[in-house]
Structure 1
Amino acid sequence: MRKKKFQKNLESSKASSAPHELLATHCYEGEGLAALLKRLEREVESAKLSKGTLPEKIWIKQQFSIGVNDITRVLERMASAEVESSAQESTAVRSGRKAPLVPLQAVLLASDCNPRWLTKHLPGLASSRGVPLIFVKDKKGGSLRLGELVKLKTAIAIGVKAKGSGINKAIEEVLRDKESSRAVEL
């Protein structure tokens, strides 16, 4: 009796994880991942040339939100920023408080994260804010490949800030290509 109950609970937990698996089927790996990262690296390099006198680390922090904690913080603030009016935001900037929030355009998420619970909340949080997720899967490790993009050893998650740069245009094209390929599959 107990064994049957355990198997039934196991089957129901597998069914509840199906939406996450559905999202994971639309990830980049292999040649598609290499092309995506090469495209983003080209845009980062060309944007760096026009950055001016900013140090590289500061410039990268202006373009990307790096790490699970930082991305979670930005996504949570995106909801509160929608509630505030623009007049309140401009008053906050003049009074010397934090600069206005730059929303995320997309989140690149390494699917090889271990333990899995570190990033388990990100798909739901991002979808509630309307921010698309791009899963990165690689034999060497998606977190290693993402880290190379922002000049770090590893990065489990990288959020691309919507700032109107060439990086944003490349991400927009990737998302458009992803949506058109998903429509063909259906």
Structure 2
Amino acid sequence: MSRGVESARHLDGSSLPEKIWIKQQFAIGVNDVTRVLERMKPCAEFERSAQLLPSITSNHKTPSVKLQAVLVASDCSSRWLTKHLQSLASSRSVPLIFVKDNKEGSLRLGELVKLKTAITIGIKVKGNAINKIVEDIIQVDGCRLQPDESNSAGIFDDFQHHDKKGNFVTDII
């Protein structure tokens, strides 16, 4: 996925500084991801608003930012920091992908956005190469990984291998 981010940046042809470009593509950190998810309408509200007459206006402003998926590091030592994301993302039909890399998931997520570590990253819907990569990962199998489950659904089979110590790791980043 890191290669996909780099290629998307080059294809974009934007002259923005790297940090600003990254911020436009990702919601970084638990607070930012939570804020974006809270501003998105819940799924039931989308259905209800589609049935209303066009002349009736909603008090809700359509969110300018939507998330395609949320990546969560499974090695987060304080689970309570990310516990709310599962229900919040589910209510907005945003897939939650747990990154488990031999207790280095937060380091891998940090590398993706040019930081030391990141517990959570939301991928913003921008219609670019990053979104295509994430869509391919999600479409492999409709099931979602839970933080402490094995990859029984086969979502990341193409990205998994054993490291030098024989540990099972998932390489999506």
So what's the TM-score if we normalise by structure 2?
A: 0.70
1:124 is matched with which residue? 87
2:41 is matched with which residue? 79
Conservation of the 8 A alpha-carbon contact between 2:73 and 2:109? yes
Alignment root-mean-square deviation, CA: 2.8
Conservation of the 8 A alpha-carbon contact between 2:40 and 2:63? no
Structure ranking higher in strand proportion: 2
1 CA distance for matches of 2:34 and 2:25? 16
Conservation of the 8 A alpha-carbon contact between 1:105 and 1:159? yes
1 CA distance for matches of 2:67 and 2:49? 17
Q: Deviations over 1:33-75 (max 9, x none)?
A: xxxxxxx111111111133211101100110000000000000
Conservation of the 8 A alpha-carbon contact between 1:47 and 1:165? yes
Quick one: which of 39, 53, 60 aligns to 2:15? 53
1:30 is matched with which residue? none
Partner-residue secondary structure (3-state), 1:176: helix
2:132 is matched with which residue? 169
Shift in alpha-carbon separation, 1:112–1:51, aligned structure 2, 3 A: same
Unpaired runs of at least 5, structure 1 = 1-39, 93-98
Shift in alpha-carbon separation, 1:84–1:62, aligned structure 2, 3 A: farther
2:78 is matched with which residue? 115
2 CA distance for matches of 1:154 and 1:79? 29
Partner-residue secondary structure (3-state), 2:101: coil
Question: Percent of pairs identical after alignment?
Answer: 62
Structure ranking higher in helix proportion: 1
1:145 is matched with which residue? 108
- Equivalences, count: 137
Q: Give the number of the structure whose alpha-carbon radius of gyration is greater.
A: 1
2:64 is matched with which residue? 101
State the one-letter code of the partner of 2:153: R
